[in-house]
Structure 1
Amino acid sequence: MKLHKFQIEGYRRHYNTDIMFSNASFLIGENNTGKSSILKAIELLLTDTSKLPESFFFKFFQDDYINTCREITLTAEFREVPDTASSWRGFKGRLFPYVETLPDGTEIKGNSIFYRKTFTPDMSRIIEMKSRKKTLNKEFEDVKKISDFIEKGLPKDSLKGTKYEKENQDTNLAKGKLEEFLNTFENEIELFDYSSAEDEWIQNPGGIAGNVLSRLPKVLYIPAHDGSENLGETKGTFQSILSELFTDVRNESDNYKKAQEYLNKLATEMDPEDSTTEFGKMMEGLNGVLDGVFTGIGLNAQAELSDADDAIKPKFSVSMTSNIPTSVEMQGTGVIRSTVFALLRYKAIRDMEKKSDGRSLIICFEEPELYLHPNAANQMRDTIYALATTSNNQIVCSTHSPYMIDLSKQVGQVLNYLSTNISAVETEDGTCFDCEVINNQPFNIQDAFKTLQSDEKDYVKLILKIDDYLARIFFAKNILIIEGDTEEIVLKETISLMPDELKKNVLCNWQIVRARGKATIISLVKYLKAMGITPYVMHDLDSGVTGAEVMNKPIKDALSDDSRLTVLENCIEDILGYTPPSSNKPHKAYQHTQVKWKSDYNKINPEWREVVEKIFT
């Protein structure tokens, strides 16, 4: 099961934001655009947090005072849900088929589910799932007692391990409790008819939150600003990863399979209502004391041992060793984060060696490049993609570094580009006013690549191999594609001499991509446009040059926007005012900028300045 789409409403800076996911998903954008909040929202969605303080709710200025959204709503679509999920408690009637058509025409079919959590200030959260509209079968309309449900076919064994096991079976269930009972046992007996034409959102699927939550992906959140607490003895990222590995090993153990048998025996010994056991005697004595102080007041304590996963929780004592054992507190932050990532890399290797059909895991990295040496950062990038290639892992990263993204990796990749703008916001009373909100533009790397023809794919693969930092294009507002090394050198020197305002605009808002040939320009333009990015292009006219002039029209057609196309007549050397050399073109261009311009923007020949200023302004 994989997270496919996530809608965040009213949480922190997110008024209404849609995020898309694949095997490896990246959150990029400027500071303060809500990237970390998305990771925290995923954690909120997939853990049993029941309440949120008012400080977590979206705030905005209205009539000189701060107004607050009254609801936080987190809505997720999960895909690749197995057909067998219809038999899971809480999932019956809640699987919806989907058909996804890829750019190359391939169809992918599967099941999805829709899961929603709603928080209001200082109130317990509401959990819902999208369901086919259901109607209670007539034979159960007047049934209120557990014993009557059993008589009509509910297996008595299905009560074991639930809160209803010791419920009085001959007493009418109250309305709220009856609804919860029906939701809990709808898989065990045909209680409802499900419509194929209508759907609705139903609360408390499966009766209690844990029934559905235990089937959704687990989440591991690795924050940016962490340190020795990550290697703590009771909590932290290191403990979480070790527990994941412990679970893998434990599930293969014969001793673990016997553990539940002994836990059941222990639960019998810990029965508070059995006065023949030591625990029962203790509870009887305790309640005698309580009754002596407060007449009629009693205490009931029930040991929950029905699930070995919950009952057996390991605690790992952690220290680090170089030549001698050293306390975690003495280690640098980079070493600690590298240790966490090394453990994740081992998990990726282990996952690839075994085929698992267990619960999937979403690993949320917040700025994984922080505190790492460049070599370690490269290894961290490889770890992210290694984890993403295993069937049970899904990776979500927030990053400010293009070096963490490798567009050449053949795994499903989605980049979510987050930005802010001013948009109309509607308040609870129906009034609208302008407010700063977060927008997201998702880029599906794999889908864009599949739109290319065979030879175009080869050109893009080549440029990705030569320049594995092409991901810089996603960290700029505007992209300029140029032909090659000569244009790059001349532009770099030009930018360094620009007036401050113009230089600031170029450095902050533009990314220059070197195509290394006209044929590659065509492929790059198509690749970027398939992701919703229309670049600017500058290239030589090359009139009379065999093999080069013929590329001009295909470039123009691929871009299909003449306002973004600059054609240098006849080549960049002609614009700069010297004869094109037969060899060492980049070196000759550099010499020209040093000798002729003399570090003065005003000494750059007017024809070239006009070209540059037209593009960048």
Structure 2
Amino acid sequence: MRLDRVVIRNYKSIKSIELRIPKKEARRQGSADFLSIVGENNAGKSSIMEAIRLACTAGMKANDEQFPQHDEARGPIEVELEFNQLTDKDRELAALAGHTYVEGGQERYRLKRTWEAPEVASKNSAFTPGRLPEHHLTGWVPAKKTLKSLKSLEQEDERWTPILERLAKDGVSKPTKNQLIEVARELHSPLLEIHQPSEWTPYPSGSTPALEAALPNVIYVPALRETNKETDVEAKTSSIRRIVNSLFEQHLSNHDRVVQFKKAAAELQDLFATEGKHRIVASMEEKLTEKFKELINISAELTFHAPDVTADLASSTQFRVLDAGLSTRPDHQGHGAQRSIVLALLQLYVEQSRQSLAREHQHLLFLIEEPEIYLHPGMCRRMRDTLLKIASGGIGQVICTTHSPVFLDLADRHDGIVILRKKEGHPVATQRIQDVFAQSEEDRARLRMLLNFDPAVNEAFFSEKVCLVEGDCEIAAVEAVARKLRDTGELDWPRYLQARRATTFINCRGKWTIPAFQKVLNAFRISYRVVYDRDQGSNADRANAQIEELLKGNGQSLVHEPNFEQFIFKETWADDKPWTVTRKIDGSSALNNRLLDFFTFALGQSLAQLKPAPAVASDTLLPLQRLQAPSRRNHRSRLKEYTVTHESFQSARKLDQLFRIAAGPNFAPRPGPDIPLQSIDGTKFDAFAIVTGESMADTLQHQDIVALRFLNGTTGIYLESVDSSESPSNASLPGVLENDGIYVLATNDYIDQRAYTMKRVKISTQPDGTWNCEIRADNPEAFWGHRGRFNILRTDRIHFLAQVVGLVHREAQEPTDPGSPELTVIPVAHAPEARVEDT
């Protein structure tokens, strides 16, 4: 029995998501029971894994944080699991009795698990066979009509347009009803109505053991926070214990000594059996009954159940590793070593399982979060190969979340890729169920060949922008043009790097591979641009026509006539084109318009967007004097202003409590728990900070001096790194923070890097006691501000170092005074004087 479909509703931020797990197909050599979920951070990938784990673990209960936090109805959480490929052994399971049905010629089993809010009872139910679920399309017409005749439907109802356009792109001229329904389901079309006349039958209470036998055995490997727990063989739900236990079950369950142990336990239990009870046991029962009868009319009975330690051998097994002769537990090793141990056990499991595939065993489901994490690139590929062996060899199914292109396969496993995107705060999944290359095995073979050369082309699924090019020459030209524009002062290098990192250039190594990529990008609705040569000849004409046809609605093209070098440089290059174009651009005195047009098209940004910002001259201003302020909003007027004496600055400098902190990401060396704070003479402040950067320019300007109040002492907030295994604790934030205040802070990974930023923090408490916290820049024109705001979540790690209590002016002081606390002599680790967007 294999898991075929999962539907998750009302779990955390998930409103409704449906996933299909692809299956191994003989005609696709790289296909497997393998699903890869990709998406930006906080897109909901981990929530999907958690929900599947919750649904596939019979005794697991939902906790309060797993229910939708902004839904007044508070759930319920629902997870539907649909299985196919049932075996004879599966049909004998008590949970399946009377609950299987046939659809599309396949016997199936559907289970819905429901968790109500804590105050309401939860329940499990199975789909009762009867009439099959009916799929209906509003405005349905007979399937014998062609796509051309179906076009008339658009005049009656515009909701048909995306369905018909998708079919046209796929080259389907005579769609069947099932094809229309599948595309409508994939596009979440409002035309699709699913009628389910059969009902769900609730399982009786106490059915947990029956469910446990039917559900997949889940081996869950999380990404970070629980890694140490996952390598502890004594932890009941750890991944290592489950793997070790599965190995023992496969190879020790029928061993002679295990059989002898079970036999001895049974014989021991027979001593207490009703028939043939041992005389000592019987005598004890008689004597106890005699004593009972003196007091009350009851009898005694002694029974005994021998513990079956062979059912869970791993629980009694100690698993340790030897490191330089020292025996340690795996969870005491580093994260990289722990992941390597998991990988080694998985590899052993694959090897051992291949020897025992003839025996049926409970279906295994591997849930692996970010399998690439902590692993060297070579080890990362070994992890992928191991998981593929599990998923393609009939050993189990694999679902993973990943940020690595190594775990994707556009040629053979594109139906096993799910892209998560947030829409109105809820994750939305994009998955292509149909085989994109079902009608073109040549396209599949071309793409497979390219992936063998360069697996990094899978980065298309992780990028904001994608540009397809024929070869290395175009990519080399982009880099050379950027360096030339930087050297002539026409391009801001950090802005270029930001644009370049947002764009994935895919070297298709020829014209005919471009359409294969287009089909995949179109299927996943990923926007892209194509740069290609017109070339000459009938073969080129056919490829060009196919490229332009596939561009409709999803991409843009830039065509060079007859090819790149002749169109731009009026030259013909036979070979070594990347090096030739690099030297050509480096040695040129000026760049022609055609080359600049290619550069901006490939990047997807105009030259105006990449130009350096105008510089502000400081001339003869003193180091600690503020620059002339630009026109501001009213944010600055909210800050209190203080005048501080020269002696106070001297005191702050001696105490190392005069900092340079960026209005944007930066590093700060103080304070720490080992350095007690001392009062600054003549003030009520904890420290002064010189502002660096421009992302708060509507409130704080570069070279402003501000007074800080540290949030330490009873709040225990310092600048030291935080152990990632610690549970986050943000519950006290509303009581610590002043709403709309400016704070020096670090979140998540920036804590470990000791990288702090100065930003405005807004916090609001709801009537029900929940709270929302946001971090904002005060200058929307700065690059940091372009990223908008971000929220502090309950699961985030966060440090607030200090609150900005006001602007500081120092009393007039002669520039030559040796006591002036100039920036050049502050004994702290200064951050670079770069713009915020450099970081």
Q: TM-score, normalised by structure 1?
A: 0.73
Corresponding letter in the other structure for 1:489: A
Counterpart of 1:396, as a letter, is: I
Contact 2:415–2:431, Cα closer than 8 Å, also in 1: no
CA distance in 1, matches of 2:233, 2:422: 40
Which secondary structure state, in structure 1, belongs to the residue aligned with residue 95 of structure 2? Answer: coil
Q: Give SS of 2:98's match.
A: coil
How far did residue 530 of structure 1 move?
4.6
* 2:509 matched residue in structure 1: 516
Q: Does 1:452 find its partner at 2:471?
A: no
- Cα gap change, 1:70/1:230 in structure 2, threshold over 3 Å: closer, same or farther? closer
The residue correspondences of 1:109-120 to structure 2 (distance < 5 A) are 109-120=105-116
Q: Provide closer, same or farther for how the CA distance between residues 57 and 282 of structure 1 changes in structure 2, counting only shifts above 3 A.
A: farther
Q: Which of 336, 352, 360 is residue 354 of structure 2 equivalent to?
A: 352
TM-aligned CA deviation for residue 525 of structure 1 = 2.2
CA-CA distance at 1:461 after TM superposition: 2.1
Q: In 1, Cα distance between the equivalents of 2:374 and 2:389?
A: 21
Give the distance between the partners of 2:348 and 2:317, measured in 1 at CA: 18
Q: Which residue of 2 aligns with 1:202?
A: 201
**Contact preservation (8 Å) 1:351, 1:390:** no
Question: Over the residues paired in the alignment, what is the CA RMSD in angstroms?
Answer: 3.9
State which of 587, 595, 600 in structure 1 corresponds to 2:587.
595
Please tell me the residue identity of whatever aligns with 1:510: T
Pairing of 1:130-169 with structure 2 (within 5 A): 130-132=127-129
Amino acid at match of 1:514: N
Which runs of no fewer than 5 residues in structure 2 stay unpaired?
23-32, 132-195, 606-839
| Range with bigger deviation, 557-566 or 15-24 | 557-566
- Partner SS for 1:513: strand
The amino acid across from 2:248 in the alignment is F
Please tell me the residue identity of whatever aligns with 1:464: L
After superposition, give the CA deviation of every residue in 1:100-145 in whole Å (9 maximum; x if it has no partner).
xxxxxxxxx53221111111222453111111269xxxxxxxxxxx
Alignment match, 2:388? 385
Change (3 A) 1:464 1:249: same
After superposition, the C-alpha distances for 1:563-607 in whole angstroms (9 at most, x for unaligned) are 62221233322453342323322211111232237xxxxx54333
* Offset, 1:251: 3.1
Task: Verify the 8 A CA contact 1:239 1:316 in the aligned structure 2.
Answer: no
CA gap of 1:198–1:562, structure 2 versus 1, over 3 A, is closer
**Are 2:396 and 1:401 aligned?**
no
Q: Is the 8 A contact 2:410 2:447 kept in 1?
A: no
Give matches, 1:252-291, under 5 Å.
252-257=254-259, 262-267=264-269
State the Cα distance separating 1:266 from its structure 2 match: 4.6
Q: Which runs of 5 or more structure 1 residues have no equivalent in the other structure?
A: 61-65, 100-108, 135-196, 423-435, 598-602
Matched to 1:480, the amino acid is C
Letter of the aligned partner of 1:371 in structure 2? Y
**CA-to-partner distance for each residue in 1:461-502, whole Å, 9 max, x for gaps?**
221211122221211243221111111211334466555797
Alpha-carbon offset, residue 515 of structure 1:
0.9
2:90 corresponds in structure 1 to 85
Within 5 Å, which residues of 2 pair with 1:367-378? 367-378=370-381
Match of 2:216 in 1: 217
Q: Cα offset for 1:84? A: 5.2
Task: Identify the match of residue 470 of structure 1 among 448, 457, 471.
Answer: 457
Which residue of 2 is the match for residue 13 of structure 1? 13
Specify whether residues 77 and 493 from structure 1 end up closer, same or farther in structure 2 by C-alpha distance, changes over 3 A only.
farther
8 Å Cα contact 2:288-2:300 kept in structure 1: no
Q: Does 1:121 align with 2:110?
A: no
Q: Which amino acid aligns with 1:568?
A: H
Asked if the contact 1:402–1:472 (Cα under 8 Å) also holds between the matched residues in 2, the reply is yes
- Between the two proteins, the alignment pairs up a number of residues equal to 515
Secondary structure of residue in 2 paired with 1:93: coil
Letter in 2 for 1:448: V
> Judging changes above 3 Å, is the alpha-carbon distance between structure 1 residues 50 and 381 closer, same or farther for their aligned structure 2 residues?
closer
Between Structure 1 and Structure 2, the one with more helix by share is 1
Query: Which residue does 1:96 correspond to in 2?
Result: 101
* Identical columns (%): 21
Q: Which residue of 2 aligns with 1:184?
A: none
Verify the 8 A CA contact 2:522 2:554 in the aligned structure 1. no
Residue 280 (structure 1) shift? 11
Distance (Å, rounded) in 1 between the aligned partners of 2:414 and 2:579 = 40
Structure 2 distance, partners of 1:309, 1:213, is 19
Distance 2:321 2:521 in 1: 46
Give the deviation of 1:210 after TM superposition: 1.4
Report how far residue 214 of structure 1 moved.
0.8
Residue type of the alignment partner of 1:11: Y
Aligned partners of 2:245 and 2:312 also within 8 Å: no
1:577 aligned residue (545, 552, 569): 569
1:318 corresponding residue in structure 2: 319
Distance 1:8 1:547, change over 3 A: closer
C-alpha distance in 1 between matches for 2:505 and 2:301: 70
Per-residue deviation at 1:209? 1.8
1:526 equivalent among 514, 519, 528 = 519
Contact 2:285 2:302 in 1 (8 A): no
Deviation at 1:379, TM superposition (A): 1.1
1:416 aligned partner: 418
Q: Which amino acid aligns with 1:592?
A: K
**2:14 & 2:342 partners in 1: Cα distance?**
30
Q: Quick one: which amino acid aligns to residue 111 of structure 1?
A: E
The amino acid across from 1:71 in the alignment is P
* Larger CA Rg, structure 1 vs 2: 2
Equivalent residue, structure 2, for 1:72? 77
Q: 2: distance between equivalents of 1:266 and 1:541?
A: 85
TM-score for the superposition, normalised by structure 2 = 0.55
What secondary structure, in the 3-state scheme, does the structure 2 residue paired with 1:214 have? helix
User: Cα distance 1:237–1:51, how it changes in 2: closer, same or farther (>3 A)?
Assistant: closer
Contact kept? 1:24, 1:412, Cα under 8 Å: no
1:162 corresponding residue in structure 2:
none
What residue in structure 2 maps to residue 431 of structure 1? none
Q: Secondary structure at the match of 1:350?
A: helix
- Residues 511 and 332 (structure 1 numbering): CA distance in 2 closer, same or farther, change over 3 Å? same
**Alignment CA distance shift 1:241-1:610 (3 Å):** same
Residues 483, 539 of structure 1: 8 Å contact kept: yes
Q: Is the 8 A contact 1:34 1:438 kept in 2?
A: yes
Q: Amino acid of the residue matched to residue 129 of structure 2?
A: R
CA distance in 2, matches of 1:239, 1:279: 41
Quick one: distance in 1 between partners of 2:272 and 2:76? 42
